[in-house]
């Protein structure tokens, strides 16, 4: 594991979720001395929803989950770290089928009730013998904490990532816990990285899917580390129903708004943790775009800024080079008028009306860029469209991590 990110946050106290029991084991997918297989046993009656990568080269695990999600029920989650099993043809598909079959036999359920995710190197088939031995060890292992499970799904991550929140549904308080991994190959095109959410709320599958999809849009789909969308991106939400509330079935259900808000908050917390652990990151950057032609246009412009290596390296070097922001706006392919454009860093306006502000003083901008949390604001002056995207700076650390990734 790389040195801990300077932007790291501690793992929060995460309560047990009745009906969801995590276990970990060593399958030894890589030559490392750590657990790399996570098995979460889910009680009968658990519902599931998910958002998955839109990559045209998805892993067999993504394809398996996409098919299984149509049924809306789950009994287990199996996550492998160190090998993404992507771009592995029939051997990769056979590995997923073997994992699902062995887990289903252990639980006495259908293979389609088993959800599988993998993360790590692309192009190396997942060894079935290691997977099955790892599963047997996980089946026999004592339950573990959510932080242990979060540590087990990591690859280049430098700290464990988790979040928790609650919601009141009728006369019941329900709990939500999420764990996530992600540090590089982060540019969501639906979701990003691997994220797993567990709640004791009773939620019907269709509403759970609607709530997760809505929560994903302003959270996981608004972060980027390096503009690279993974073949394996998966976010799954499991609802065990053990809280005893009247099941949420639609937006008219009692507590539906509270559950949606809690899920959105949890997803935002998890997404921010991923950006904080961007490979080599030293600064968390918020890019806020207003005055665009539409919200979609604003989002595309914000992503253009957030993904620009020139913008990211300037911020890494604490260089108040706002011309790079102008460049990123102009290349986005979205409606923009030079002479209406305004740019700020933090609270300091640096440019408006197509040129630097009168009496521009770079000193407060430089002071802002020396911090760990940076805000870049752009106003297009065209309409009401707005969007916020989060990213991190680009440092030599990113190159070092990825140049050595397979060794």
**Predicted local distance difference test score (pLDDT) of residue 1:** 47
**Predicted local distance difference test score (pLDDT) of residue 121:** 83
**Predicted local distance difference test score (pLDDT) of residue 398:** 78
Q: What is the pLDDT of residues 108-141, one digit of tens each?
A: 999 999 999 999 888 999 999 999 999 999 999 9
- Buried b / exposed e along 117-147 (16+ C-beta atoms within 10 A): bbbbebebbbbbebbbbbbebbeebeebbbb
Was 402 annotated as part of a binding site?
A: yes
Was 155 annotated as part of a binding site?
A: yes
**Predicted local distance difference test score (pLDDT) of residue 405:** 54
Q: In whole angstroms, give the CA distance from residue 395 to residue 313.
A: 7
Catalytic, 192? Answer yes
How many Cα atoms within 13 Å fall on the side-chain side of residue 61? Answer: 32
Contact 286, 376 (CB under 8 A): yes
Dihedral pair phi/psi, residue 194, rounded to 5°: -115, 125
Per domain, the residue ranges of the chain are: 20-276, 284-403
Q: Helix-strand-coil percent breakdown of the chain, rounded to 5?
A: 35, 25, 40
Which of 192, 234, 290, 395 is catalytic? The answer is 192
Instruction: Identify any residues that bridge with 50 across adjacent strands, giving them in sequence order.
Output: 236
Burial of 377 by CB count in 10 Å (0-12 exposed, 13-18 middle, 19+ buried)? Answer: buried
| CATH class of the structural domain 20-276 | alpha beta
**Predicted local distance difference test score (pLDDT) of residue 278:** 85
Was 181 annotated as part of a binding site?
A: yes
Contact 276, 180 (CB under 8 A): no
For the chain, 407 residues long, the average pLDDT of each consecutive 10-residue run is 85 98 96 94 98 87 96 98 91 97 98 95 92 98 98 93 98 97 65 85 98 95 80 90 98 98 98 91 97 98 96 95 95 96 96 92 95 98 98 86 61
CATH pick for 284-403 out of 3.10.20.340, 3.40.50.9100, 3.40.50.920, 3.30.450.40? 3.10.20.340
Was 294 annotated as part of a binding site?
A: no
Q: What is the DSSP letter of 248?
A: B
Contact 66, 83 (CB under 8 A): no
Question: DSSP H helical segments within 230-342, as ranges?
Answer: 256-276, 295-307, 309-316, 323-331
Q: What is the pLDDT of residues 68-100, one digit of tens each?
A: 999 999 999 999 999 999 989 999 999 999 999
């Amino acid at each position: 594991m790389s040195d801990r990110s300077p932007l790291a946050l501690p793992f929060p106290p995460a309560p047990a979720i009745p009906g969801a029991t995590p276990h970990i084991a060593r399958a030894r997918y890589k030559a490392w001395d750590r657990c790399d297989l996570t098995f979460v046993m889910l009680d009968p009656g658990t519902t599931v929803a998910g958002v998955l990568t839109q990559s045209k080269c998805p892993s067999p695990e993504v394809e398996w989950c996409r098919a299984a999600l149509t049924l809306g029920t789950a009994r287990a989650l199996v996550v492998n770290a160190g090998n993404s099993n992507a771009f592995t043809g029939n051997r990769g598909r056979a590995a997923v089928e073997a994992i699902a079959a062995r887990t289903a036999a252990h639980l006495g359920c259908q293979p389609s009730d088993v959800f599988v995710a993998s993360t790590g190197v692309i192009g190396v088939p997942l060894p079935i013998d290691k997977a099955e031995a790892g599963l047997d060890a996980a089946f026999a292992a004592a339950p573990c904490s959510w932080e242990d499970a979060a540590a087990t799904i990591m690859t280049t991550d430098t700290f464990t990532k988790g979040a928790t929140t609650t919601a009141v549904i009728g006369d019941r308080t329900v709990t939500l816990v999420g764990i996530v991994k992600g540090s590089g190959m982060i540019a969501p095109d639906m979701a990003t990285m691997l994220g797993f959410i567990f709640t004791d709320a009773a939620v019907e599958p269709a509403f759970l899917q609607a709530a997760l999809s809505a929560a994903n849009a302003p959270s996981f789909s608004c972060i980027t580390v390096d503009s690279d969308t993974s073949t394996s991106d998966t976010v799954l939400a499991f609802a065990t129903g053990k809280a005893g509330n009247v099941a949420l079935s639609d937006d008219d259900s009692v507590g539906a708004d509270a559950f949606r808000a809690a899920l959105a908050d949890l997803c935002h917390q998890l997404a921010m943790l991923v950006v904080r652990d961007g490979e080599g990151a030293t600064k968390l950057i918020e890019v806020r775009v207003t005055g665009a032609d539409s919200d979609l246009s604003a989002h595309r412009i914000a992503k253009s800024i957030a993904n620009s290596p020139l913008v990211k390296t300037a911020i890494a070097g604490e260089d108040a080079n706002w011309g790079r922001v102008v460049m990123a706006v102009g290349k986005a392919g979205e409606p923009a008028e030079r002479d209406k454009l305004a740019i700020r860093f933090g609270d300091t306006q640096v440019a408006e009306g197509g040129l630097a502000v009168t009496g521009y003083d770079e000193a407060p901008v430089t002071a802002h860029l020396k911090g760990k949390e940076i805000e870049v604001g752009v106003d297009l002056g065209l309409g009401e469209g707005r969007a916020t995207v989060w990213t991190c700076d680009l440092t030599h650390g990113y190159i070092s991590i990825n140049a050595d990734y397979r060794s």
